[in-house]
Amino acid sequence: MIWPVCWALALAAAAATPRSVAAGAYDGCRTIIIGAGMGGAYTAWRLAVDDGGATVPAASICVFERAARPGGRIHTVTDLPAAFGGAALDVGGYRFHRAEHPTLRGLVEGPLGLTTHCYSDPLGDALRGLATNGSVHVTRRVQACPPITQPVLIARGSRFVPRAGVPFSTSATIDEQVKAKWTPELPYTIPPDARWGLGGNSPAAPRSPFGLLFGPTSVLPEIASRWIRLVTAPDYAAAMGVADEMLAALRGATFRGVPLHELSVYQLAIAVGVTPEELALTQDTSAGANVAAQVVVSSIVAESIRNVALGMAPLDGPRDFVVPVAPDASGAGVNRTGLGTVVEGLLDAATAAGVRVFYNHRAVLARPWGSTSTLVAFEDGALVRASRLFLNMGKPDVLALGTMSVPTHGASPAFRRAFAALRVFGLSKAYCAWPDAWWLTALNATAGIGGSGGPTVSLRYHDGSVRCADAAARVGCSGSLLVSYNIGDVTGAASGLYIASHDGAGLSATSDTDAPRVLDGAALSSRDRLLWDAIHGELRRLHDPLLAAVGVAGGVPDAAACVTAGWVDLGVHVATPNGAGVGLPDDALEAFVAPTEGGAAARGAPVHLVGEAYSQEHAWTEGALRSAERALYHGAGLGLGRPPWLDATFHDSVIVRFNRGRA
C-alpha cells in the first residue's frame, strides 16, 4: 500500500517536534502497550516479571499512558481534605470477588502478596439480588465473610431490614422485601388486564429478566436440563465440568430461532411476556440492572454459569467480595489501601525488571508500517515503531484513534461486529466526610444501601472510612460515607450533575480531565453547588424523617467535604446483540485477541486488545486480566503458558478454550 503523502508529511513533522523526554528514551521500544490501566499494567508485568522476559525482553517493553498517573478506571485517592482522615478511597473500581475472579485473586494473593479483607455488600449485585427462578439461586454463595447482622435499605422513605436471624444472602434479600411491598397500581396507562402480563403471571411473584435465564425452569432448555446438576455438583472440578458441558450445548443454541449472541436479555424477557411493571421493578430495586439487561444473552449466561462453578472453588477464607488492606498504624484493625495498589505493584515490579513507562503520552494514531511493524504517533509528536502492539483502551479510546488507525483499520469482520456491539454506560461515585458520622452514631446503619431513585442514588453505609472513639458503642465516630454510586443512569440526571461539577469538560476519550473532583464545603463554586445540593438534598430526603424519629433535630448536616468522580463517558462496557453478521458465529473473544487477523488489510505488527471491554466479565477488573491472559496465550508468536499461581482448571476452560465449553 502507498501511503498518502499528507500522512507521511504529518509523521515527518511530528517526528521533528521537540519532546519533553530525553533523546533516545524510546530506543529499543518494540512491544508497545498503550494504556497503563489494569490490562496494560498486567500485560507488562506478565511479560517482564512473571515470564521473566523469556518471550519478550523486558527492555523492549514500553508502556504509554495518556494520563499523569497509572490505573485508568482504578483510581485510589489519598490526598483529600482533613475531614477524610487520611483514608485511601477508591473513586473507580474498588473490590473483587475471591471465588469468581480467580485471576485477580491469584495475582493479588500470590505474586503481589497483598492482604485483603471482606467487603460484604448486603444486596450483592443485580443477579444475586433478583435472579431467582424456582427454588435455586443463580449463584450458590458461600457465606464466609462475617455476617452483616443489620443490613438496611432505605428507599422512598421506607426503611427495610431483613427478618431476624436470616442472613442476607438467602432468598430473603431486601430486594425481595421491596418487591413484597410493590403495588401494581402504577400511574401507567396500561389496562388492568394487561398489567403483570396476559399469561396469568402473579403480581405477588414478579419475574426478573435474569430469572428467566437461570434455574431449573430456565427458558433455555440447555440450561434448565442441567441446572440442578450444576448447582449440586459434588465438587469444584465436577461443577466446572458441568459448566463446560452447558456452555458447549449453548454454543449455536437459539431462542425461537434467534442465536443467543443476537438477542438481549430484555428482548428475550419481552418475548416471553414480562411486563413493563416487572421491568420497572427490576430497574427500581437493583442498581445497574437496567443496563445489565441490555446485555447479549450469550455473554451473560457464559459469565454467570461459569461463576456458579467458580463459586465452588476449593478456597480458604471468604468466597465473597474483598478489598486490599494494610494494618492500621495503631495496630487496631486494617485500613483499605485501594485497588490502585494492585496496578502500582504490577508497574513497580515491571519497571524494576526494565520496562519503561511513559506518562502524559496520548497515542493519536497507529498505522501499519511495512508488513511487520506498526508506527504509533503520540500527541506530543513522539513516534515509536512497534513490532507488537497491545491496546489497553476501552471502546471510546479506540474510536478516538480513528478509522485510519488499527484496530479499526484492517479489522476482520468478526472484530468489527463484536466491537460495534460494545456499549459504554456511565458510572459516578461520591464520598462525603463529616466530623460526626451521623449514619452510625444516630441511625446505627452499619451496612446496607439507601436510595430512592433520585439523581444521586445508591448510597452504601458499609463503604467509606470511619474512626470511632468507641467503636463498639458507636460514639465519637467521624469519617466518610459513599453517598452516591450510580450505575447506568438511564435518565442522565446524575451524569449531568457530575459533568457539570467539572470546570471544563468531564473525563472523556478526548479531554484532559480526570474523573475525581473535590468539593470543599467551605469554598464551593457555583458549579460545585449544583452537585453538592443534589447530594445533600437526596441524603436529607431519605434520612431526615429517620433522624427526627430518633430525636435528632436539624436532619443531615452539611458535609465538610466531598470527593466525586464522574466516569460518564468512559464507564464500563456491556456487549449488546451483534446480529449484523446474521448466521456468523459469535467469536468476539477470539476477535479481540487478533482483531486484524483475517482483515482485508492485515499487515503491520500483531495487535491485541486487552481490557475490561474485551471479555465476558464486563464491568469487572477480572475481565481486563482475562483478556490479557488470552492475548498472551493465543497471540501469534507469544504462547505464554499458565502462570503457576493461576488455577489450572480455570485456565484450561476460560483462557485456553475461550470459555466456550466442551462436550
Chain residues in the site for ligand FAD (CB under 6 A): 34-40, 64-67, 72-74, 92-96, 361-363, 392-394, 397, 427, 429, 567, 571-572, 611-612, 619-624
Distance CA 195, CA 212 (A): 18
Closer of 100 and 222 to ligand FAD (Cβ): 100
C-alpha distances out from residue 284 to 38, 280, 451, Å: 32, 6, 10
Strands 61-64 and 31-34: parallel
Q: How far is the CB of 411 from ligand FAD (least distance, A)?
A: 17
Q: What is the DSSP annotation of 7-57?
A: HHHHHHHHHHS--SSPTTTTTT--EEEE--BHHHHHHHHIIIIISTTSSS-
Q: How far is the CB of 119 from ligand FAD (least distance, A)?
A: 8
Closer of 571 and 599 to ligand FAD (Cβ): 571
Longest Cα pair distance anywhere in the chain, in angstroms? Answer: 78
Q: How far is the CB of 615 from ligand FAD (least distance, A)?
A: 9
Q: How far is the CB of 72 from ligand FAD (least distance, A)?
A: 2
Query: With contact defined as beta carbons under 8 Å apart, do 37 and 64 qualify?
Result: no
Q: How far is the CB of 359 from ligand FAD (least distance, A)?
A: 9
Query: With contact defined as beta carbons under 8 Å apart, do 299 and 575 qualify?
Result: yes
Closer of 96 and 438 to ligand FAD (Cβ): 96
Strands 321-327 and 334-336: antiparallel
Closer of 44 and 312 to ligand FAD (Cβ): 44
Closer of 361 and 517 to ligand FAD (Cβ): 361
Closer of 289 and 572 to ligand FAD (Cβ): 572
566 SS3 class: strand
Q: How far is the CB of 71 from ligand FAD (least distance, A)?
A: 6
Helix axes 38-45, 340-352, angle to 10 degrees: 30
Closer of 35 and 241 to ligand FAD (Cβ): 35
Q: How far is the CB of 573 from ligand FAD (least distance, A)?
A: 9
DSSP label of 472: T
C-alpha distances out from residue 431 to 88, 436, 479, Å: 11, 15, 10
The neighbour count for residue 167, using CB atoms within 10 Å, is 14
Find the distance separating the first CA and the last CA of the chain, reported in whole Å.
Answer: 45
Closer of 623 and 661 to ligand FAD (Cβ): 623
φ, ψ dihedrals at 235, nearest 5°:
-155, 180
- The residue type found at 204 is A
Closer of 197 and 338 to ligand FAD (Cβ): 338
Distance CA 290, CA 206 (A): 16
Q: Which residues fall within 8 angstroms of residue 432, CB to CB, at 6 or more apart?
A: 480, 481, 483, 535, 559, 560, 561, 562
Query: With contact defined as beta carbons under 8 Å apart, do 242 and 277 qualify?
Result: no
Q: How far is the CB of 95 from ligand FAD (least distance, A)?
A: 4
Q: How far is the CB of 321 from ligand FAD (least distance, A)?
A: 8
Cell of 580: 449484523
By beta-carbon distance, which residue lies closest to ligand FAD?
A: 37
Cell of 72: 485508568
Q: How far is the CB of 661 from ligand FAD (least distance, A)?
A: 24
Q: How far is the CB of 201 from ligand FAD (least distance, A)?
A: 34
Alpha-carbon dihedral of residues 588, 589, 594, 597, nearest 10 degrees?
A: -40
Q: How far is the CB of 66 from ligand FAD (least distance, A)?
A: 4
Closer of 149 and 511 to ligand FAD (Cβ): 511
Distance CA 626, CA 102 (A): 10
Closer of 202 and 403 to ligand FAD (Cβ): 403
Q: How far is the CB of 262 from ligand FAD (least distance, A)?
A: 25
φ, ψ dihedrals at 476, nearest 5°:
65, 40
Closer of 64 and 415 to ligand FAD (Cβ): 64
Interior angle at CA 320, CA 314 and CA 326, nearest 5 = 105
Closer of 392 and 616 to ligand FAD (Cβ): 392
Closer of 67 and 152 to ligand FAD (Cβ): 67
Cell of 157: 422513605
Q: Which CB contacts under 8 angstroms, 24+ apart, belong to 597-600?
A: 597/412, 597/636, 598/412, 598/413, 598/414, 599/410, 599/411, 599/412, 599/413, 599/415, 600/410
Q: How far is the CB of 378 from ligand FAD (least distance, A)?
A: 7
582 SS3 class: coil
